[in-house]
Amino acid sequence: MALIDHFRRRAIRDQTTAGAFIDEQSFHLAESCVLDYSRLRAGAGADALFADPPFAAALEKACWEAYPRALTMVGTLAEGALRP
């Protein structure tokens, strides 16, 4: 049932839950953009490159640098959905 619950929509009833949801989605967007871009640029050697500790640290830094932009995008979407 945990797998089905993962895909089920969660009810957002207060500001704290909405903030946590927006934060979670923003970091997921930033992380997926950085990882997907890096994987596409690396090509066939992506797995070896991702296993390299200095590169993993650079990826982590890039994710946090992309986070403010992703937060702005997700916040704009949430505002548009919640605006009457």
Whole-number Å distance between alpha carbons of 2 and 71 = 27
Query: What are the residue boundaries of the structural domains of the chain, listed by start?
Result: 15-82
Residue 63 corresponds to which tokens in the numbers above?
């994710």
Give pLDDT, residue 4: 54
Whole-number Å distance between alpha carbons of 63 and 69 = 10
Q: Residue 71's CB: how many other CB atoms inside 10 A?
A: 17
Span 37-84, pLDDT tens digits = 999 999 998 889 899 999 999 999 999 999 999 999 999 998 888 887
Span 11-50, pLDDT tens digits = 777 888 888 889 999 999 999 999 999 999 999 988 898 9
Read off the pLDDT band of 6 (50, 70, 90): low
